[in-house]
A and B are shown apart, each in its own frame.
Chain A
């Protein structure tokens, strides 16, 4: 086995593609958690977003009523709306009704898992593929050897995901909205006393989180894999939650974690492809093991929202 066979440009390129859904979902979760809402239902929301986006594109393409890019945009829009609605449900249960967030998140997950499968069975039946987001070729850039393949030959959603990373950091750290989010997650009593509506902020972040989770799902079903099947995400939403802890609630570090995880994932795929003499089960386990080990060593940070999972109620 030669290292050159493993660390190929295509491995790096596929790591970037694989990181896309994690980045969307984990950034969304970062917003929610920074405001004090732990949404464990990300995976279920991703599934609903994945199905919604897929189904919209599937319908539009079968009917042939609209141009290809429009159909894909419709898919993205549906995924955002479905995800936003799931986020709204999560916000209602955990902010307004003040349910235990760990439990309500699991409820949202199971709901998304079940409903996406049911609708898929009812409306589609057998796995079908759609024509998803095409890879973009940039003039000159794409033709640069190695770097071109790694950085300049991806679909639109990959670039959107990576653009969202600094944007999220800016929103959290440099805007009044971000300040409210951080304050609500750290000390909701203080935010309330300063006239910030804890409820409104938490609804906003949970819905944003849901929308980004929906988009994460769509990035799988209409950009990366271009099909839908039951449990398409296979727990990626839970990894996204873990990545938020791993990155210490900071968008840049969260995205770096997503990259690390996806890189190990891409490596194990490559090792399988070249048929290295490692049991494939170990290779499949590797990214998860590394995530757990990294989480154990991730120390408590100042950014940790101290009010995470705690419903806020005014007065004693």
Chain B
């Protein structure tokens, strides 16, 4: 199957025996995104590229794929210098990229997405039947089952990723760059992906695996390169790496990966949902008779693949979506369809999933965002109308200090802060009101490890103080690290609930995909 003498891949395309990037520099206005980075990958190797958000992983790979151009440095393919001007250039040289946000047009079919940008065998007329035939052959070779006639929007996320991989192989990729490929997959899909990646490497492809998940890097890669702040920290063989070591390389200081959790001490019931139903944005069933109990001093995790009702759940509790049936009680009071302001008043806090849309007003200053709900509170307002800016700034400064928010001042516009700091600001605001119930939706998505660690510690502290916390997250690691109980959502229903201590990850994965 694989004959090294011919240097051909099973797809019939030539191998890339080695690819070397040396001394790569890339400047964006005000930022040095890549600072003399050296990187190389060989045929048959899975090379992990590890780093925080903004460390330069994607920038470096976008230069390899021709989307950006290095200001300095050299790229060599099979020991010959190569200038990659555009994605077409990269594709022609055998470089393929699987992007984090899939580069697929949802209304087009699998075959159309693959044919896009390629020469047709019939001139200007499309040859989708020819493309489909070849796709089927390729998917047989790599066990990447997918129907070429289906439109993308009908496919599950894992299948869409398979389309991306198929397309790269179709175009002759010998080197595959995978940008955070597991971010949106269920555990089963991850296992499937890893099998495919191992087969691709065994066949002589080179693979770059971009990630910030340590256990995945340890599981799948042969070598790992760690980036931090646009610089390469080191490249080491994976068998010499450990989780704490990699985390320290990423962050620049030792990081707490496992939290010491006090045993749960649940007290009175704070949030009760009984058979709550609601519509989704499209008018279909969003929530289907969901019942849930949340007690003081416990964290309940809501696990599930994105789009299975988690957003609707959070919005029904926080008054942002109409409940069509059932009831929501907070502290024993019926608050079904109560307006958000009334919910705030009885001690509900909310860390929304879309922090830039629902969490902050990004054109407002840090101080203004800090008092978004409380600006009318007597401690910030005189005679009910005049805002006491000194008091507001003072309170905000305390929060900045307490929550270690990195901002030049209280008057800085929120849009110029990093994701992690914005999230800390939202957290500071929501916790400043001593909530009885906290709904935290994807609290650490897009947030770096350092800030994640901080936010997690804060949530655990709140729990120990007696707050009832509902943690909605697509990140199973996060759910498992923090929750006392875990409920799994699938198609708008809660399909199972387990105690975190004795949870089986396989079982969770099955529940998440609707299996029994």
Contact = CB atoms under 8 A, between A and B. Distances in A.
Asked if A and B are interacting partners, one says: yes
Interface of A: 174-180, 182-183, 186-187, 189-196, 302-303, 306, 314-315
A191 B105 contact: yes
Contacts of B503: none
B117 A182 contact: no
A57 to B, nearest CB: 33
Nearest to A188: B105
The 4 closest A-B pairs by CB, nearest first: A195-B88, A194-B117, A190-B103, A186-B105
Given A193-B99, A195-B91, A314-B67, A176 B105 contact: no
Q: Is the interface of A mostly helix, strand, loop or mixed?
A: helix
A189 B101 CA distance: 10
Nearest to B117: A194
A5 to B, nearest CB: 45
Contacts of B119: 176
Given A174-B126, A314-B67, A196 B116 contact: yes
Contacts of A189: 99, 101, 103
25 contacts: A179-B115, A182-B105, A183-B108, A186-B105, A186-B107, A187-B104, A187-B105, A187-B106, A189-B99, A189-B103, A190-B102, A190-B103, A190-B104, A190-B113, A191-B105, A191-B117, A193-B67, A193-B97, A194-B87, A194-B103, A194-B116, A194-B117, A195-B88, A302-B107, A315-B62
B: contact size bracket: 20 to 34
B68 A182 contact: no
A196 to B, nearest CB: 5
A16 B361 CA distance: 52
B96 to A, nearest CB: 10
Nearest to B99: A193
Nearest to B68: A315
B117 A196 contact: yes
Contact of B87 (A178, A182, A192): A192
B116 A186 contact: no
Contacts of A187: 103-106
A50 B91 CA distance: 46
B98 to A, nearest CB: 10
Contacts of B115: 176, 179
B103 A179 contact: no
A172 to B, nearest CB: 11
A193 B124 CA distance: 21
A266 to B, nearest CB: 35
B423 to A, nearest CB: 18
Contact of B125 (A175, A193, A195): A175
A195 B153 contact: no
Nearest to A182: B108
B108 A193 contact: no
B120 interface: yes
Contact of B105 (A177, A178, A190, A315): A190
B11 interface: no
Given A175-B124, A179-B115, A195-B91, 18 more contacts: A175-B126, A176-B118, A176-B120, A176-B124, A179-B108, A179-B126, A180-B116, A183-B116, A186-B107, A189-B99, A192-B87, A193-B67, A193-B97, A194-B91, A194-B117, A302-B151, A306-B106, A315-B67
B101 A179 contact: no
Contacts of B62: 315
B112 interface: yes
A20 to B, nearest CB: 27
